[in-house]
Structure 1
Amino acid sequence: MKRLLVTGYSGFVGKILVSQLNDNYQLNLLGRKPSNLGCVYTHSIDSRSSYSDALSNVDVVVHCAARVHIMDDVASKPLNEFRAVNTLGTLNLAKQAAQTGVKRFIFLSSIKVNGESTSGKAPFTAGDNSAAEDPYGISKAEAEKQLLELGKQTGMEIVIIRPPLVYGEGVKANFASLMRLVYKGLPLPFRAIKSNKRSLVSVYNLVDLINVCIEHPKATNQIFLASDDNDLSTAEMVALMAKVQCKKNLALPVPVWCFKLAGKMLNKADVIDRLTGSLQLDITHTKNTLNWTPPYSVEHGFKLAAKKPS
């Protein structure tokens, strides 16, 4: 039985991932929280730590841990903070993995490597040049580049997965906030935002893709975009949130130009673009290379995202 090292195992994606992997693999877990699903090794992801104990006899590393994107980052030098974990920490782990004979290193990156928006443009593809704009995306892009170079130098197989917004049971941040507002029956002003398209990926589809990438021979040294392959407008998203929570869709048809005007006046054009603009992923390369189709529907993921904590 293969042994895997999973980082970020206590996070949103990691929790579901290790629960799926536990029956088929021996698991080493890198982090700080207890778990009954594998051997836990307490280390930080940084440029100095030694991971020799956690990497012992490991065949594949699945690296999910990261300094995550923060909307209102208060760090004085945010790019340095992101690089410390997402770039330098990742490369430190990967170099030690190669030295100990790890066969494959799977890196959970971000669609922010491609950019922030596809409004007025074609969907992002795996072959696009990096157009990262914020510190988080830049740190991930730098890590990708250095990982692929490390793979060429050492022969360790590199697999990179770039997801967009990930949702499912336990999701937080803006997705959870919008879900709660819909549940409360508030008349939200989003019914007219129906010409944009956003790619999302349920955590269940993302975990399935990661699982495939652990073994698939054609995943070697590839970059894969991940999505549910069913893009939604903002209006469609709100309507589906209402449906899965058995609530009436009380969204109001406020014209899109009103949002854009407000964005200019309040200097929040980037926030408005995330609401009214498009961010689409073309996952043709992922599907064709791996013979993979997202197994779970968008509605399945929305239903689980709507579950209230027990």
Structure 2
Amino acid sequence: MKVLVTGATGFIGRLVVRHLREAGAELRLASRRPEKLGPGNDTVPMPNFDAPAAAFLALTRDMTHVVHCAGLNNDRGNATEADYRAANVELSARLAHAAAAQVSGRFIQLSSIRAVIGARVSATIDENTLPAPQCVYGRSKREGEIRVLSAYALQGRSDAAVLRLPPVYGSGMKGNLATLMRLADTGLPLPTGALTGIRSLMSSEAAARAVSHLLAHSAPLRPVYVGADVPPVAVAAIIGAFRSGLGRPPRLIAVPAGLMRPAAAVLGRRAFWDSMTATQICDPSLLVSEGWLPETGTLERLAEIARLGKSRLLA
């Protein structure tokens, strides 16, 4: 089995590489920073979205499968709509067209629940959730999904799949989870008791295992899968877990949301507050029914991430 992994130096991509290597796969690693991958690898630079078709054909030549982790995440505050479209739509489409033409096996694309739901909406998400992205990032991920699946459909193939992920945690995480951990690392009381939202999260290790599973399991691929740890966890409990790992007392104060929302608006953090009070539950039943095992110790793992992060800072 020869697998092309794009975004091989990324937050999830590097774990996908490790899991596939441990499974005995032969790998080709594509990255915009191939120097970070070190010697001894079949390493290639990731082409730009506007590179000639020959560059993508060369990238995918002799491969059995493709795992497409490369993309522009929503933790880049200075990214424009054009940036998101180039990275998440056009690049994905060009890669998928080349792979559909000459790669014999499967194409797994990492996506996000932002492709179907906004951060401030409360809902349960599964493979049948009607897409209604509400941000530039989400729209780019949804269009990228469409373009990848369409590229395979044009070749009469059904062996491409999209794996939609909730917020992913692990060493090196960014975004709202990193913000919550920074908030937790203070001795001051926090008015987080009013954060009534319940959220599905997923460990980076579980995401990498899901990719390996989708490549290896014998059942025909479905077009879309949703991953998540089980059960979902309360936002206040997430902060509590971080505080536990950081050695801080809980000190979570229940302040009515009606008081906190105006204060958050004054501080320019209304969108963040609303996202933390929304309930978004991802249902990974389809993956589980096909033999994948979800992570079940979310809060314990969050506490451990905080503890290890603090230990590195003190070392």
The two structures have a TM-score, normalised by structure 2, of 0.88
Letter in 1 for 2:230: D
Could you say if the C-alpha distance between residues 144 and 173 of structure 1 is closer, same or farther in structure 2, counting changes exceeding 3 Å? closer
1:56 aligned residue: 61
CA–CA distance in 1 between the matches of 2:77 and 2:277? 20
1:10 aligned residue: 9
Query: In 1, are the aligned partners of 2:120 and 2:274 still within 8 Å (CA)?
Result: no
Question: What are the within-5 Å matches in structure 2 for residues 208-247 of structure 1?
Answer: 208-218=209-219, 220-247=221-248
Deviation (angstroms), 1:172: 2.7
Task: For residues 116-170 of structure 1, give each alpha carbon's deviation from its aligned partner in whole angstroms, at most 9, with x where no partner exists.
Answer: 1475x54012112210111111111111112222222212511110111111112
CA–CA distance in 1 between the matches of 2:113 and 2:244? 28
Where 2:233 maps in the other structure, the secondary structure is coil
2:205 aligned residue: 204
Is 1:94 aligned to 2:96, yes or no? yes
Deviation (angstroms), 1:286: 2.4
Query: In 1, are the aligned partners of 2:34 and 2:44 still within 8 Å (CA)?
Result: no
Residue among 162, 175, 181 paired with 2:164: 162
Query: In 1, are the aligned partners of 2:120 and 2:271 still within 8 Å (CA)?
Result: no
Task: For residues 11-69 of structure 1, give each alpha carbon's deviation from its aligned partner in whole angstroms, at most 9, with x where no partner exists.
Answer: 11111221121131011011122324631101334132413333221111000000111
CA–CA distance in 2 between the matches of 1:118 and 1:127? 20
Root-mean-square deviation (CA), in Å? 2.2
CA–CA distance in 1 between the matches of 2:68 and 2:105? 14
State percent identity of aligned pairs.
Answer: 25
Deviation (angstroms), 1:233: 1.6
CA–CA distance in 1 between the matches of 2:169 and 2:74? 15
Where 2:161 maps in the other structure, the secondary structure is strand
**Runs of 4+ residues deviating >6 angstroms:** none
Could you say if the C-alpha distance between residues 186 and 15 of structure 1 is closer, same or farther in structure 2, counting changes exceeding 3 Å? farther
Question: What are the within-5 Å matches in structure 2 for residues 20-169 of structure 1?
Answer: 20-23=19-22, 24-31=24-31, 32-34=33-35, 35-36=37-38, 38-49=41-52, 50-70=55-75, 72-73=77-78, 75=79, 78-117=80-119, 119=121, 121-154=122-155, 155=157, 157-169=159-171
Query: In 1, are the aligned partners of 2:203 and 2:295 still within 8 Å (CA)?
Result: no
Where 1:280 maps in the other structure, the secondary structure is strand
CA–CA distance in 1 between the matches of 2:100 and 2:301? 36
Deviation (angstroms), 1:107: 0.3
Task: For residues 200-227 of structure 1, give each alpha carbon's deviation from its aligned partner in whole angstroms, at most 9, with x where no partner exists.
Answer: 1110111111110111233514211111
Where 1:123 maps in the other structure, the secondary structure is strand
1:298 aligned residue: 298
CA–CA distance in 2 between the matches of 1:183 and 1:266? 20
**May I ask how many residue pairs the two structures share in their alignment?**
303
Letter in 2 for 1:163: L
CA–CA distance in 1 between the matches of 2:220 and 2:137? 25
1:282 aligned residue: 283
Any gaps of 5 or more consecutive residues in structure 2?
Answer: none
Query: In 1, are the aligned partners of 2:75 and 2:174 still within 8 Å (CA)?
Result: no
Letter in 2 for 1:110: S
Query: In 1, are the aligned partners of 2:123 and 2:280 still within 8 Å (CA)?
Result: no
Report the structure, 1 or 2, having the larger helix content.
2
Query: In 2, are the aligned partners of 1:168 and 1:304 still within 8 Å (CA)?
Result: no
Query: In 1, are the aligned partners of 2:72 and 2:87 still within 8 Å (CA)?
Result: yes
Query: In 2, are the aligned partners of 1:61 and 1:102 still within 8 Å (CA)?
Result: no
Where 1:106 maps in the other structure, the secondary structure is strand
Is 1:176 aligned to 2:170, yes or no? no
Query: In 2, are the aligned partners of 1:169 and 1:304 still within 8 Å (CA)?
Result: no
Query: In 2, are the aligned partners of 1:45 and 1:90 still within 8 Å (CA)?
Result: no
Query: In 2, are the aligned partners of 1:197 and 1:231 still within 8 Å (CA)?
Result: yes
CA–CA distance in 2 between the matches of 1:152 and 1:262? 50
Could you say if the C-alpha distance between residues 295 and 72 of structure 1 is closer, same or farther in structure 2, counting changes exceeding 3 Å? closer
